[in-house]
Amino acid sequence: MAIDVNRLLLETGELVVTGRLVDASNATLYAKVTLNAMEKICIYKPIAGERPLWDFPDGTLADREYAAFLVSEFLNLNVVPLTILRDGPYGQGMVQEWIDIDESIDLANYFSQDIPELRQMAFFDAIVNNTDRKIGHLLPTKSGELFGCDHGVTFHEEDKLRTVLWQWAGDLLTPTEIAALELLIASLGNELDLTMHLTVNEIEAITLRAKHMLNTATMPLPSPDWPAIPWPAF
C-alpha cells in the first residue's frame, strides 16, 4: 500500500505555531509541520481555544471539522482539505493542510456562478448541514480544484443550512449525487463511522437528510424559518 506522505506529515511531523489568523472567532493558528526534510504549512485549531456555542452544546468544533473531512473523503467529493485530529503545542485539536488559493479569482463574482465545483460544494453542504458557508470559506486553486474551510458548525440535528450557494435550489439531483446519497445511507455506522465525533442524534439526522433529498430528488430550498444566508456573507 502506498504511503500517503501528506497525511503522514500532518500526523507525525513536529507542529510549530508561527502565527494566528486574528479575524477568526476561535483560536485559528498558522503553523507548519516538519518531518525529516519534509515541511508543510497548515492550520491548527486547538480545542482549548474554542468558544462555547449555545446551539452546539455537545462535541467540539474540531471533531465536526474532522467529520466533515471524513464525509468528503468517503464520498470522493474532495471538497475539504486533508484534515486530522492530533495533539499540538496547545493540546488536542484539528490540523488541516493549508490551501494556496488562486489570487486572480474574485470571490465576490465567483461564488454565484453555475459551475460544477460550486455545485459539488453546495451538495456537500446540504449533506453536512453547514450553518455557515460564507464566500470567504471558498478556496479555489490555480489547478481548478475547489476546497472549503471552517466546517466547525455542521451536522446539527435540526435543519440549519445557511449558505451563499443557493443557485441550484430546487434543481433535480444528478445521477452522481443520487448515488452518493445512497452510498452515504448504506455506509453510515459501517464503513463510514462518525460515532467518535458526532452525537447519536446528529448521525441519525444525516441519514434523515439524505433520505429526504433522495425522496424529493432535488437540491434543498432555503427555509422560511431562519436566515438562509450567513451574516456576514463574506
Q: Which three cell numbers stand for residue 143?
A: 489547478
Q: What is the pLDDT of residues 9-31, one digit of tens each?
A: 999 999 999 988 877 778 899 99
Tens of pLDDT, residue by residue over 184-232, are 999 999 999 999 999 999 999 999 999 999 999 999 999 888 889 999 9
Give the number of other CB atoms < 10 A from CB of residue 120.
21
Q: Which CATH architecture has domain 5-216?
A: Orthogonal Bundle (1.10)
Helix (H, G, I), strand (E, B) or coil at 136: helix
Question: Distance between CA atoms of 198 and 183, rounded to whole angstroms?
Answer: 19
3 pLDDT higher than 80: no
Q: What is the pLDDT of residues 115-157, one digit of tens each?
A: 999 999 999 999 999 999 999 999 999 999 999 999 999 999 9
Q: In this predicted structure, what is the pLDDT of residue 20?
A: 86
Share the mean pLDDT of the chain: 94
Domain regions of the chain by residue span: 5-216
Per-residue pLDDT tens over the stretch 100-125: 999 999 999 999 999 999 999 999 99
> What does the alpha-carbon distance between residue 182 and residue 78 come to, in Å, rounded to a whole number?
18
